[in-house]
Protein backbone atom coordinates (compact mmCIF):
# COMPACT_ATOMS: atom_id res chain seq x y z
CA UNK A 1 0.00 0.00 0.00
CA UNK A 2 1.33 3.43 -0.93
CA UNK A 3 1.98 5.97 1.82
CA UNK A 4 -0.91 8.47 2.17
CA UNK A 5 1.59 11.33 2.35
CA UNK A 6 4.76 11.30 0.25
CA UNK A 7 7.76 13.53 0.93
CA UNK A 8 10.16 14.57 -1.81
CA UNK A 9 13.09 16.22 -0.09
CA UNK A 10 14.63 18.00 -3.06
CA UNK A 11 12.55 18.71 -6.17
CA UNK A 12 14.88 21.73 -6.35
CA UNK A 13 17.68 23.16 -4.22
CA UNK A 14 16.35 24.28 -0.86
CA UNK A 15 12.81 23.10 -1.63
CA UNK A 16 10.83 20.35 0.08
CA UNK A 17 7.69 18.85 -1.44
CA UNK A 18 4.89 17.12 0.44
CA UNK A 19 2.24 15.27 -1.54
CA UNK A 20 -1.09 14.00 -0.24
CA UNK A 21 -1.45 10.57 -1.81
CA UNK A 22 -4.92 9.06 -1.35
CA UNK A 23 -6.17 9.11 -4.95
CA UNK A 24 -8.81 6.46 -4.20
CA UNK A 25 -10.45 8.92 -1.78
CA UNK A 26 -9.72 12.15 -3.69
CA UNK A 27 -7.06 12.86 -1.07
CA UNK A 28 -9.58 13.10 1.75
CA UNK A 29 -7.96 14.19 5.00
CA UNK A 30 -8.26 11.30 7.42
CA UNK A 31 -6.49 11.38 10.78
CA UNK A 32 -3.42 9.60 9.43
CA UNK A 33 -2.96 12.17 6.68
CA UNK A 34 -3.40 15.06 9.12
CA UNK A 35 -0.84 13.58 11.52
CA UNK A 36 1.65 12.97 8.74
CA UNK A 37 1.23 16.48 7.35
CA UNK A 38 1.84 17.95 10.80
CA UNK A 39 4.88 15.72 11.32
CA UNK A 40 6.49 16.39 7.94
CA UNK A 41 5.90 20.14 8.10
CA UNK A 42 7.43 20.20 11.58
CA UNK A 43 10.47 18.24 10.39
CA UNK A 44 10.97 20.45 7.34
CA UNK A 45 10.47 23.52 9.50
CA UNK A 46 13.45 22.36 11.60
CA UNK A 47 15.62 21.35 8.62
CA UNK A 48 18.07 24.09 7.63
CA UNK A 49 18.47 22.54 4.18
CA UNK A 50 14.79 23.22 3.41
CA UNK A 51 14.00 26.88 2.88
CA UNK A 52 10.58 26.69 1.24
CA UNK A 53 7.93 23.96 1.07
CA UNK A 54 5.42 22.97 -1.61
CA UNK A 55 2.25 21.16 -0.49
CA UNK A 56 0.25 19.44 -3.20
CA UNK A 57 -2.04 16.56 -4.16
CA UNK A 58 -2.62 15.18 -7.64
CA UNK A 59 -4.24 16.46 -10.83
CA UNK A 60 -7.74 15.43 -9.64
CA UNK A 61 -7.66 16.79 -6.10
CA UNK A 62 -5.53 18.82 -3.75
CA UNK A 63 -7.76 17.47 -0.98
CA UNK A 64 -11.50 16.95 -1.36
CA UNK A 65 -12.23 17.53 2.32
CA UNK A 66 -12.30 15.54 5.53
CA UNK A 67 -12.79 11.78 5.43
CA UNK A 68 -16.55 11.65 6.10
CA UNK A 69 -16.60 7.86 6.51
CA UNK A 70 -14.12 8.20 9.37
CA UNK A 71 -16.27 10.67 11.32
CA UNK A 72 -19.88 9.93 10.36
CA UNK A 73 -20.68 7.99 13.55
CA UNK A 74 -18.39 9.94 15.90
CA UNK A 75 -19.65 11.29 19.21
CA UNK A 76 -18.85 14.69 20.68
CA UNK A 77 -16.15 13.11 22.85
CA UNK A 78 -14.76 11.23 19.86
CA UNK A 79 -14.40 14.53 18.00
CA UNK A 80 -12.78 16.15 21.04
CA UNK A 81 -10.26 13.33 21.37
CA UNK A 82 -9.32 13.46 17.68
CA UNK A 83 -7.38 16.63 18.45
CA UNK A 84 -7.54 17.92 14.90
CA UNK A 85 -7.31 21.53 16.08
CA UNK A 86 -3.81 20.79 17.41
CA UNK A 87 -2.78 19.42 14.01
CA UNK A 88 -4.13 22.51 12.24
CA UNK A 89 -2.12 24.73 14.58
CA UNK A 90 1.03 22.69 13.94
CA UNK A 91 0.57 23.00 10.18
CA UNK A 92 -0.10 26.74 10.41
CA UNK A 93 2.89 27.25 12.70
CA UNK A 94 5.51 26.05 10.18
CA UNK A 95 8.17 28.80 10.15
CA UNK A 96 9.11 28.23 6.50
CA UNK A 97 7.00 29.59 3.63
CA UNK A 98 4.52 26.98 2.40
CA UNK A 99 3.10 27.10 -1.12
CA UNK A 100 -0.12 25.21 -1.86
CA UNK A 101 -0.14 23.81 -5.41
CA UNK A 102 -3.85 23.23 -6.03
CA UNK A 103 -5.18 21.14 -8.89
CA UNK A 104 -8.72 19.77 -8.99
CA UNK A 105 -10.76 19.94 -5.81
CA UNK A 106 -9.86 21.84 -2.64
CA UNK A 107 -13.05 21.44 -0.63
CA UNK A 108 -13.90 21.66 3.05
CA UNK A 109 -10.79 20.67 4.97
CA UNK A 110 -8.85 20.78 1.70
CA UNK A 111 -9.77 24.44 1.18
CA UNK A 112 -8.92 25.12 4.82
CA UNK A 113 -5.57 23.35 4.40
CA UNK A 114 -4.76 25.57 1.41
CA UNK A 115 -5.66 28.60 3.53
CA UNK A 116 -3.07 27.62 6.16
CA UNK A 117 -0.41 28.04 3.47
CA UNK A 118 1.26 31.32 2.58
CA UNK A 119 0.82 31.27 -1.20
CA UNK A 120 -1.77 29.41 -3.29
CA UNK A 121 -1.00 28.50 -6.90
CA UNK A 122 -4.13 27.14 -8.59
CA UNK A 123 -4.80 25.40 -11.86
CA UNK A 124 -7.34 26.95 -14.21
CA UNK A 125 -9.93 24.25 -13.50
CA UNK A 126 -9.38 24.07 -9.72
CA UNK A 127 -12.51 24.14 -7.57
CA UNK A 128 -12.72 25.53 -4.05
CA UNK A 129 -15.49 25.47 -1.46
CA UNK A 130 -16.68 25.01 2.11
CA UNK A 131 -19.65 22.65 1.62
CA UNK A 132 -19.88 21.45 5.24
CA UNK A 133 -23.40 22.82 5.79
CA UNK A 134 -24.67 20.28 3.24
CA UNK A 135 -23.81 17.44 5.64
CA UNK A 136 -25.04 19.11 8.81
CA UNK A 137 -21.85 20.61 10.22
CA UNK A 138 -19.75 23.78 9.89
CA UNK A 139 -16.19 24.28 8.65
CA UNK A 140 -13.90 23.26 11.51
CA UNK A 141 -10.40 24.00 10.25
CA UNK A 142 -10.61 27.75 9.82
CA UNK A 143 -13.31 28.09 7.18
CA UNK A 144 -15.47 30.40 9.30
CA UNK A 145 -12.43 32.41 10.43
CA UNK A 146 -9.62 32.53 7.84
CA UNK A 147 -12.02 32.61 4.89
CA UNK A 148 -13.88 35.85 5.90
CA UNK A 149 -10.62 37.41 7.03
CA UNK A 150 -9.26 36.77 3.53
CA UNK A 151 -12.21 37.56 1.26
CA UNK A 152 -14.50 39.63 3.49
CA UNK A 153 -17.72 38.81 5.33
CA UNK A 154 -20.17 38.98 2.45
CA UNK A 155 -18.26 36.82 -0.01
CA UNK A 156 -17.45 34.28 2.69
CA UNK A 157 -21.06 34.13 3.91
CA UNK A 158 -22.25 33.55 0.36
CA UNK A 159 -20.22 30.33 0.21
CA UNK A 160 -20.23 28.98 3.78
CA UNK A 161 -24.02 29.36 4.00
CA UNK A 162 -24.79 27.73 0.64
CA UNK A 163 -21.95 25.25 0.38
CA UNK A 164 -21.55 26.23 -3.28
CA UNK A 165 -18.24 25.66 -5.02
CA UNK A 166 -16.28 28.36 -6.84
CA UNK A 167 -13.56 28.27 -9.42
CA UNK A 168 -9.98 29.46 -9.50
CA UNK A 169 -10.84 32.68 -11.32
CA UNK A 170 -13.33 33.79 -8.68
CA UNK A 171 -10.96 32.65 -5.92
CA UNK A 172 -8.29 34.91 -7.39
CA UNK A 173 -10.69 37.82 -7.70
CA UNK A 174 -11.62 37.40 -4.03
CA UNK A 175 -7.98 37.35 -2.99
CA UNK A 176 -7.90 33.67 -2.00
CA UNK A 177 -5.56 32.56 -4.80
CA UNK A 178 -2.15 34.10 -5.46
CA UNK A 179 -1.76 32.99 -9.08
CA UNK A 180 -3.59 30.94 -11.71
CA UNK A 181 -1.67 28.79 -14.19
CA UNK A 182 -2.60 26.09 -16.71
CA UNK A 183 -3.54 22.84 -14.98
CA UNK A 184 -0.49 20.97 -16.26
CA UNK A 185 1.89 23.60 -14.85
CA UNK A 186 0.64 23.93 -11.26
CA UNK A 187 3.31 21.90 -9.50
CA UNK A 188 6.07 23.13 -11.81
CA UNK A 189 5.15 26.76 -11.13
CA UNK A 190 4.92 26.17 -7.36
CA UNK A 191 8.37 24.55 -7.30
CA UNK A 192 9.79 27.40 -9.41
CA UNK A 193 8.41 29.99 -6.99
CA UNK A 194 9.65 27.96 -4.01
CA UNK A 195 13.10 27.85 -5.63
CA UNK A 196 13.03 31.63 -6.05
CA UNK A 197 12.18 32.06 -2.37
CA UNK A 198 14.75 29.46 -1.28
CA UNK A 199 17.52 31.48 -2.91
CA UNK A 200 16.77 34.47 -0.67
CA UNK A 201 18.14 34.98 2.88
CA UNK A 202 16.33 32.45 5.12
CA UNK A 203 16.18 34.63 8.23
CA UNK A 204 14.65 37.54 6.33
CA UNK A 205 12.13 35.21 4.69
CA UNK A 206 11.09 33.58 7.96
CA UNK A 207 10.86 36.90 9.78
CA UNK A 208 8.83 38.39 6.95
CA UNK A 209 6.34 35.53 7.21
CA UNK A 210 6.10 35.86 10.99
CA UNK A 211 5.72 39.63 10.82
CA UNK A 212 2.84 39.38 8.34
CA UNK A 213 1.01 36.64 10.25
CA UNK A 214 1.44 38.19 13.69
CA UNK A 215 0.56 41.64 12.40
CA UNK A 216 -2.72 40.42 10.90
CA UNK A 217 -3.97 39.51 14.38
CA UNK A 218 -2.86 42.79 15.95
CA UNK A 219 -3.65 46.47 15.68
CA UNK A 220 -1.89 48.43 12.95
CA UNK A 221 0.25 50.23 15.51
CA UNK A 222 1.31 46.95 17.15
CA UNK A 223 2.03 45.42 13.76
CA UNK A 224 4.16 48.37 12.71
CA UNK A 225 6.11 48.13 15.95
CA UNK A 226 6.73 44.43 15.33
CA UNK A 227 7.86 45.22 11.78
CA UNK A 228 10.32 47.88 12.97
CA UNK A 229 11.81 45.67 15.68
CA UNK A 230 12.18 42.78 13.23
CA UNK A 231 13.92 44.99 10.69
CA UNK A 232 16.34 46.24 13.34
CA UNK A 233 17.05 42.71 14.55
CA UNK A 234 18.00 41.52 11.05
CA UNK A 235 20.89 44.00 11.01
CA UNK A 236 22.62 41.57 13.37
CA UNK A 237 22.62 38.86 10.68
CA UNK A 238 25.49 37.94 8.39
CA UNK A 239 23.02 37.69 5.51
CA UNK A 240 22.13 41.38 5.85
CA UNK A 241 25.80 42.33 5.57
CA UNK A 242 26.31 39.95 2.65
CA UNK A 243 23.16 41.07 0.84
CA UNK A 244 23.98 44.76 1.02
CA UNK A 245 27.63 44.21 0.17
CA UNK A 246 26.66 42.15 -2.88
CA UNK A 247 24.23 44.87 -3.97
CA UNK A 248 26.93 47.54 -3.73
CA UNK A 249 29.52 45.34 -5.44
CA UNK A 250 27.05 44.29 -8.17
CA UNK A 251 27.48 40.55 -7.58
CA UNK A 252 25.23 37.64 -6.63
CA UNK A 253 24.96 37.24 -2.83
CA UNK A 254 25.70 34.00 -1.01
CA UNK A 255 23.22 33.63 1.83
CA UNK A 256 23.91 31.18 4.66
CA UNK A 257 20.98 31.73 7.00
CA UNK A 258 23.21 33.24 9.66
- Phi and psi at residue 91, in whole multiples of 5°? -65, -45
Q: Which long-range contacts (CB under 8 A, 24 or more apart) does 237-242 make?
A: 237/201, 237/203, 237/204, 239/201, 239/202, 239/203, 239/204, 240/201, 240/204, 242/201
pLDDT by 10-residue block (mean), the chain, 258 residues:
78 93 91 91 93 95 86 83 82 93 96 96 97 93 93 96 97 97 97 96 95 91 94 94 94 91
Angle, helices 238-249/202-216, rounded to nearest 10 degrees: 110
Contact in structure between 117 and 56 (CB atoms under 8 Å): no
Domains and CATH numbers, the chain: 5-198 (3.90.226.10), 202-249 (1.10.12.10)
If one counts every other C-beta atom within 10 angstroms of the C-beta of residue 133, the result is 14
Structure pTM? Answer: 0.93
Alpha carbons 107 and 89: distance in angstroms, whole number: 19
pLDDT (tens digit, 9 = 90+) per residue, 207-251?
Answer: 999 999 999 889 999 999 999 999 999 999 999 999 999 999 999
Alpha carbons 103 and 124: distance in angstroms, whole number: 8
Burial class of residue 190 in the structure, from the number of CB atoms within 10 Å of its CB (0-12 exposed, 13-18 middle, 19+ buried): buried
Contact in structure between 50 and 96 (CB atoms under 8 Å): yes
Q: In what order do the strands lie in the sheet with 15-20?
A: 5-12, 15-20, 52-56, 98-102, 119-123, 179-181
Catalytic residues, which ones? 66, 109, 112, 132
Angle, helices 202-216/220-234, rounded to nearest 10 degrees: 170
Amino acid sequence: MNAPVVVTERPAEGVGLIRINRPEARNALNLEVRRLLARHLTEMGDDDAVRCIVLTGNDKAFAAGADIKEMADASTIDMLLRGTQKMWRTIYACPKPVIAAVSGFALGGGCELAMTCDIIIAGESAKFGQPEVKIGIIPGGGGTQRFPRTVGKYKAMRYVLTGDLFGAREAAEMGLVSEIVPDAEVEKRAVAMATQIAELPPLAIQQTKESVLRGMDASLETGLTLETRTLQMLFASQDQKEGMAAFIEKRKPKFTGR
